[in-house]
Every structure is written in structure tokens, then in C-alpha cells.
Amino acid sequence: MFKPLDPLLHSELRLAVVSLLISSDSADCPYIKEQTGATAGNLSVQIDKLSAAGYIEVEKTFKGKKPCTLCRITPLGLKAFEEYVEALRSYLNVT
Amino acid sequence: MFKPLDPLLHSELRLAVVSLLISSDSADCPYIKEQTGATAGNLSVQIDKLSAAGYIEVEKTFKGKKPCTLCRITPLGLKAFEEYVEALRSYLNVT
DNA sequence: ATAAACAAGTTTATAATATAAACCAAATTA
DNA sequence: TAATTTGGTTTATATTATAAACTTGTTTAT
């Protein structure tokens, strides 16, 4: 009846991050922060979790002299997102 | 960009309960329990929260001699659900 | 040149949430 | 009448989300 919802994606901020990365291919923290309205600390934690799960890839670079954390979605992350959306349907297709 | 997700509905079990009530009009605990796979304790707590928010109505009756807790969705709950689904779209319409 | 302010991010402490285990009351069954 | 089952509630615990506090380095103002 109701499919289980991946707890890693069933989180407002993490879902927003993944959603953003799917349409942006790659994004740095300040951009994600701006688009989601998240605080830096919260964002850092959630990026860690997504990264630990292999849903996103994190590359530490520099933009000029400043540190810059680049994130991009992985195939695993994309698959998880698609499955999450599919699972959600079982809750929403109430018609 | 991303619309906030009503925390009351952004919960696997509560979303399942509301989804169920929208299509069933009225349901008792054992039925909801069976359909969602929730434990009785968890279900009781989540029904309380939905009820306290005015999203569902709870009627305590008896089925023969046994207690029977009937739940139904309220107009407010229906509205909240529709808004939740609408907000979700902002995360899912990645195209 | 040095102090103040800022930028980018991390760590940690706290608040909120979800969840199951333990419990209670009444009814049914052995 | 004791044991079991049913329907549900309370409470204790584990997990999660989140912001506040902190770190490192850079820019700007004095």
C-alpha cells in the first residue's frame, strides 16, 4: 500500500539540495545556501550525510583564494531521488 | 524557489494516515494500523498530533463492547494536504 | 602594518521528532 | 477464574534537525 520513504531524502533541506543538484549538475555551498535559505551549519551537516550515503560527490577546491565546496549528484543519488518520488506517489495518488 | 513543507504532514506515518483518511472518509485504528503497518503506540501518538492540529477528527465509540476510535479528515486537513502536495512539487519538478 | 570585519565552512550543543517498549482496562476464551 | 486477546495510551529512548559557537583564512579600513 504505502511504500517506505528513504529517510535520507525525506528531509526538507536534503531534498532541496538533491533537487537543486539534479537541475544544476554542480553547485557550491553559498549558492545552495542562497537557494535553500539554509544556515551554513545545517547545510554542512546535511551535505555530509548525503555525501556519506554516496548520493552526492563533494569536491574541495578554491575560488581564487577562498575555499569552495563543490557538490554534484551521483548516479546513486539520482536513482534514490527517482525511487523516492515514486514511493511518494503511493501517498499522494488519492484522486 | 522551495516552498516550506508543513512539518505535520512531512512525516511518513502521518502522511499515510491523512492519505488513507482522504480516500476512506472514516477509518478506525485497527484498519489504519493494518494499512500502514504502524505499531499501536506510534499510531496513537500521531493521531493525537493530527487531531490537535485540527487536521482530523477523532470520535471515540464502541464496536459492540469493544472501544473503537474513528478518525476522519477535516476540511482543514484536506486543505493542508493539498498545500503540502503543492509545496512538494517545487522539490520534484526537476524535469 | 595591524585590527576589525567578512567569508566559507565545521563542530557541538540543544530542541524537536519518531518510535517502540511497557503499560492499562475491558472483553473473550480456555 | 485464570490466561489471553483486543484496543488503545503513556513514557522512555533513540534519532534527527537545527542553530549557535567556533575555526581558518581573507579582505578592508585605519
Instruction: Enumerate residues 6+ apart whose C-beta is below 8 A from A27.
Output: A20, A21, A35, A70, A71, A72
Each of the 95 residues of chain B gets a pLDDT tens digit; together they read: 899 999 999 999 999 999 999 999 899 999 999 999 999 999 999 999 999 999 999 999 999 999 999 999 999 999 999 999 999 999 997 65
Q: What is the pLDDT of residue B93?
A: 77
Pairing of strands B56-63, B27-28: unpaired
- Alpha carbon distance A60, A70 (integer Å): 6
B70, containing H or E segment? strand B66-73
Name the residue facing B12 among A1, A5, A81 (closest C-beta).
Answer: A5
Q: Does the CB of A47 fall within 7 Å of any strand C atom?
A: yes
Residue A26 carries which DSSP code?
A: -
B56, containing H or E segment? strand B56-63
What are the pLDDT digits (tens) for A62-78?
999 999 999 999 999 99
| Grid cell locating B4 | 516550506
Does residue A45 sit in helix, strand or coil? helix
Q: What is the pLDDT of residue B1?
A: 87
B66 CA from C30 C1′ (Å): 21
Q: Global pTM? A: 0.93
Q: What is the pLDDT of residue B95?
A: 58
Each of the 95 residues of chain A gets a pLDDT tens digit; together they read: 899 999 999 999 999 999 999 999 899 999 999 999 999 999 999 999 999 999 999 999 999 999 999 999 999 999 999 999 999 999 997 65
Distance of residue B65 Cα from the nearest chain A Cα, in angstroms: 30
Residue nearest to nucleotide D7 (CA to C1'): B67
Q: Does the CB of B61 fall within 7 Å of any strand D atom?
A: no
- What is the set of domains in chain A, with CATH numbers? 12-85 (1.10.10.10)
**H-only helix segments in B1-95:** 12-24, 29-36, 40-52, 75-92
Q: What is the pLDDT of residue A21?
A: 97
